[in-house]
Amino acid sequence: MKRRHFVLAATAASSPPAILRAQGNTGAVSERTVRIRPEWAQLFEAAEVPGTLVVVDARGSASTTFIHDASRAELRLSPASTYKIAHSLIALDAGLVRDEFQSFKWDGVQRSIPAWNQDQTLRSAVRDSAVWVFEGFARQLGTAREEAYMRKIGYGNCLATGKNPFWVDGDLAVSAQEQITMLRALYRNELPFAVAHQRLVKDVLVNEAGSHWILRAKSGWSGSIGWWVGWMEFPEGAVFFALNIDTPRRTGDLPKRMDVVRGALRSIGAWPAGATT
């Protein structure tokens, strides 16, 4: 698929705003509007799962942030496979991945997900959440180097310790708000990695695309917490989202991640009619 280049334009929102002033790494102060969306509680109630959703509508020179459950949005939880976004960038920077065509040979171990039982590329490993590929990256990097990279980008609590894989069963934890911060920086190619590597990771995150939009996203599941993070990209800008939910029904709850995000984005006019994800 050909790469697309996008510019920002304006959007509108409803409900009383709160204005926050935020200072970034450059020292520049910008304003963003934060709106609590109490009606989004109905989406979670219909799904019968507790959770949080942060949406940043950046289709304009100033952004609007929508939040369901602001307290939980600050809570750090296991990122599960959503860490593969950062992990891919780290592996590329460390020289463990040359490009999107490099093949990682399957070790012959039969695993529960059929798509994992074959050679992988970075694209297939991200798409199918092939854990063994990223476990290999973690072994080659080592704990100290992995944590140094996480500190460099400010990823959650920056811990690569505990039970392996550390991003699923170990000590690594990140909040929905922190996920949004990283996604926005990636969208703008502002993470401390080569621009070519950031563009490549964004390319492998494509889930679906239409004539005027692209959905870039990654799901994750720790066994008890389900994530879906990413953004919907339009010619006038992007709408970022980070959702996490409890999954008491385990795999039965996983489709609800997409259901809730889809409903929330539709409510602000940010889910294209042709999207089927």
Mean pLDDT of the region 105-132: 97
* Confidence (pLDDT) at 19: 33
Domain count, the chain: 1
Q: Is residue 27 part of a domain?
A: no
Residue 2, pLDDT > 60, answer no
Q: Is residue 13 part of a domain?
A: no
Burial class (CB in 10 A: 0-12, 13-18, 19+), 171: middle
- Residues 234 and 88: their CA atoms lie apart, in Å, by 24
Query: How many CB atoms sit inside 10 A of residue 87's CB?
Result: 27
- Residues 151 and 74: their CA atoms lie apart, in Å, by 18
| CATH number (domain holding residue 151) | 3.40.710.10
Instruction: List pLDDT tens digits, range 257-276.
Output: 999 999 999 999 999 998 98
* Confidence (pLDDT) at 264: 98
Q: Is residue 178 part of a domain?
A: yes
Instruction: List pLDDT tens digits, range 224-252.
Output: 999 999 999 999 999 999 999 999 999 99
Mean pLDDT of the region 178-187: 98
Q: Is residue 19 part of a domain?
A: no
Q: Which residues contact 28 (CB under 8 A, 6 or more apart)?
A: none
Q: Annotated catalytic, 81? A: yes
Instruction: List pLDDT tens digits, range 34-62.
Output: 988 889 999 999 999 999 999 999 998 88
**Structure confidence at residue 32 as a pLDDT band (50, 70, 90):** low
- Residues 183 and 79: their CA atoms lie apart, in Å, by 14
Q: Is residue 7 part of a domain?
A: no
Q: Is residue 236 part of a domain?
A: yes
pLDDT above 90: percentage of residues in the chain: 84
CB 146 within 8 A of CB 138: yes
Query: How many CB atoms sit inside 10 A of residue 3's CB?
Result: 8
Beta bridge partners of 170: 162
Q: By residue range, what is the domain housing residue 212?
A: 34-267
Q: Is residue 133 part of a domain?
A: yes
SS3 19: strand
* Confidence (pLDDT) at 17: 38
78, 81, 88, 222: which one is catalytic? Answer: 81
CB 19 within 8 A of CB 33: yes
**Structure confidence at residue 1 as a pLDDT band (50, 70, 90):** very low
Mean pLDDT of the region 65-88: 97
Q: What is the mean pLDDT of the chain?
A: 90
Q: Is residue 127 part of a domain?
A: yes
Q: Which residues contact 75 (CB under 8 A, 6 or more apart)?
A: 52, 175, 176
Residue 175, pLDDT > 60, answer yes
